Amino acid sequence: MSEGPFKPGAIADAEALSASDDAQVHVRRWWRLLPRVLTHPTEVFVALRDDDHVDVEARSEPILAIVLLAGMAAMLLTPAWGRLLDEESFDWIVLAVVTFIGGLLYGAFGYFLLGFVVWLGARGVGVDTAARPARQVVAFSALPFALSIVVTVPAIVFAFGTDWFRTGGADDGAGRVLVLAIGLGFAFWSLGLLALGLRTTFELPWRGVAGAMALAGVIVATLAVVPSVL
């Protein structure tokens, strides 16, 4: 007995399932590529040239993880977090929750702002690209700084404890400077990856990379100065 023709709904379901499976393959590929940012960054930045919609969307999960960790790593090093426990109503649980939420917001703000200014810088040296690829280059470049939290958090907890989050205490002086220097070292690593990403993904000469990053730096500096002038 021969089977009847497929119904349109069944065909649509089969196509949706196939598309979902394909999307998951791309997502898993980008999770596998993520550690290679640290060891073989050129390979990752070449992969970012792919503008296939499924592949571009598949990068969202790793990027979210990087943005969250980078935001939290940055928040821990800010002066505001250095006096958070001066407020008596705060304890470790509240501190952890506030750091998580603040890191997500801070990371998202940095992702879009830095992505935007890098995009403007790239456009300024003649790169014809959309903003999203520029943001993704920024995000993957930020992986070293995001992972700095694996070093800075144990250093803060075991060396300073709650003093890190209070005015005065054991973290005053050389101790705090050392932790900040560690974070800065990871930030410079990320900055170097950003330069490599601009050169590799957008195929810029080094002179173009320097110009794009200089323009982005000028924009960031301007945004930082304007509020104090107004």
pLDDT tens, residue by residue, 144-190 = 999 999 999 998 888 887 777 777 766 566 778 888 899 999 999 99
Task: For 95, list phi and psi in degrees, rounded to 5.
Answer: -60, -45
CA pair distance 138, 100, nearest whole angstrom: 21
Burial label for 133, CB within 10 Å (0-12, 13-18, 19+), is: buried
Say which residues have a Cβ less than 8 Å from residue 137's Cβ, sequence separation at least 6: 45, 48, 118, 194, 197, 198, 201, 202
Flag whether 48 is in a domain.
Answer: no
Flag whether 70 is in a domain.
Answer: yes
Residue 221 CA neighbour count, 13 Å, CB half: 6
**Contact (CB, 8 A) for 39 and 148:** no
* Residue range of the domain that includes 96: 59-229
What domain count does the chain have? Answer: 1
Flag whether 89 is in a domain.
Answer: yes
Flag whether 186 is in a domain.
Answer: yes
Flag whether 128 is in a domain.
Answer: yes
Flag whether 8 is in a domain.
Answer: no
Full pLDDT tens readout for the chain, 230 residues: 445 555 555 444 444 444 566 788 889 999 999 999 999 999 999 999 998 889 999 999 999 999 999 999 988 888 877 777 777 777 778 888 888 998 899 889 889 988 988 888 888 888 888 899 999 999 999 999 999 999 999 988 888 877 777 777 665 667 788 888 999 999 999 999 999 999 999 988 888 888 888 877 776 666 555 444 44
First to last CA, the chain: 81
Flag whether 187 is in a domain.
Answer: yes
Flag whether 51 is in a domain.
Answer: no
CA pair distance 65, 30, nearest whole angstrom: 12
